[in-house]
Amino acid sequence: MIDFDIARAWHKIFALHIEFVIDGIEKTSLDPRVVRDDAACNLGKWIFGSGARYARRPEYADLVESHIRFHYAASAILEEHLAGRAGNQSSSFRAASDAVLASIDALASTMIKAPRPAGRETAAGRKNDEDQPAWQESMRIGMKLIDEQHEELLSWIGKLNDAPTAAITSKSFVDSISAVKKLETLHFETEEIFMQRLGLPHEQVQEHVNAHGELLKELVQVELDAGNGIRKTAAEVHRGIKDHVLSHIARHDMPLSRHIANPH
């Protein structure tokens, strides 16, 4: 269900954000006391907002608890980082983060009678095999965070085609497009910071940043089209976005691996 997919994505984005700060990739200063607040992040807002409709289920209480534990772990790792001590808390942070995902899965599993099918058959049409997730190992550039984000992003782009014949105005499509846009935005920020750190020539970085702008513009256009009631199907839009992102990875991102192998 899209609801839980979004909850998972919120959580992964937040956890990555903390990891970026710890790894020095992101220079934002985070206050551990603010990070400790489990109601302030997007997942927390979901839990106590629209997710509260599941509040009668025991799995909901488990999620609330594992999410609180995660925020304590995030706050602890951040305090450690700010104090200049590194490493001790990272395994408990990761375990706490995985526990939140497991809690979301457990809650989601109470909502579906049968396990999720491996194929993507849906009421609104059936997926083609050639439309299966586009991520391939050969796309790795050798920087873990970026590779993980590419894989996550392509899996979300795949979800745009969960109901190929649905209109782009359908709620599930609109929700997926908005999730893809958030992930792209976070991912492009990561990549752009990373390129600056590699000390690449200004023109090369600028060209790459412009290409990111084009990808985001495409998503904004889809949202505008949906808002204007333009009649397009999920399948049409999905193919365009997928092809565009894949060609971007091949043309702009994969060449970055050369600089990782031979840093300046």
Q: Shortest distance, CB of residue 54 to Fe ion, whole angstroms?
A: 34
Considering the complex, state which of residue 122 and residue 204 has its C-beta at the smaller distance from Fe ion. Answer: 204
Binding residue count for Fe ion, defined by CB under 5 A: 3
Considering the complex, state which of residue 38 and residue 253 has its C-beta at the smaller distance from Fe ion. Answer: 253
Q: Shortest distance, CB of residue 246 to Fe ion, whole angstroms?
A: 11
Considering the complex, state which of residue 150 and residue 238 has its C-beta at the smaller distance from Fe ion. Answer: 150
SS3 call for 50: helix
Considering the complex, state which of residue 252 and residue 259 has its C-beta at the smaller distance from Fe ion. Answer: 252
Stretch that binds Fe ion, among 6-14, 105-113, 218-226, 252-260 (CB under 5 A): 252-260
Q: Shortest distance, CB of residue 144 to Fe ion, whole angstroms?
A: 13
Torsion over CA of 210, 212, 218 and 224, rounded to 10 degrees? -90
Torsion-angle region of 31 (φ positive above 0: left; ψ -120 to 50: alpha; else: beta): beta
253 belongs to the binding site for Fe ion (CB under 5 A):
yes
Considering the complex, state which of residue 4 and residue 135 has its C-beta at the smaller distance from Fe ion. Answer: 135
Torsion-angle region of 87 (φ positive above 0: left; ψ -120 to 50: alpha; else: beta): left
Whole-angstrom distance, CA of residue 24 vs CA of residue 197: 11
Stretch that binds Fe ion, among 50-58, 79-87, 217-225, 247-255 (CB under 5 A): 247-255
Beta-sheet pairing, 121-122 with 125-126: antiparallel
Considering the complex, state which of residue 238 and residue 252 has its C-beta at the smaller distance from Fe ion. Answer: 252
Q: Shortest distance, CB of residue 248 to Fe ion, whole angstroms?
A: 6
Q: Shortest distance, CB of residue 251 to Fe ion, whole angstroms?
A: 9
Q: Shortest distance, CB of residue 146 to Fe ion, whole angstroms?
A: 6
If you ran DSSP here, which 8-state letter would residue 121 be given? E
Considering the complex, state which of residue 32 and residue 240 has its C-beta at the smaller distance from Fe ion. Answer: 240
- Closest to 45 measured CA to CA, from 19, 99, 7, 16: 7
Beta carbons of 32 and 82 less than 8 angstroms apart: yes
Considering the complex, state which of residue 80 and residue 191 has its C-beta at the smaller distance from Fe ion. Answer: 191
- Which tokens is 209 given? 């940043």
Task: Please give the residue whose beta carbon sits closest to Fe ion in the complex.
Answer: 253
Whole-angstrom distance, CA of residue 170 vs CA of residue 161: 12
Beta carbons of 20 and 74 less than 8 angstroms apart: no
Stretch that binds Fe ion, among 57-65, 97-105, 170-178, 249-257 (CB under 5 A): 249-257
- Which tokens is 223 given? 């949202």
Q: Shortest distance, CB of residue 22 to Fe ion, whole angstroms?
A: 22
| Helix (H) or strand (E) run with residue 126 in it | strand 125-126
Tell which positions 181-220 bind Fe ion, by CB under 5 A. Answer: 191
Q: Shortest distance, CB of residue 180 to Fe ion, whole angstroms?
A: 13
- Which tokens is 197 given? 């750190």
Binding site residues, Fe ion, CB under 5 A? 191, 252-253
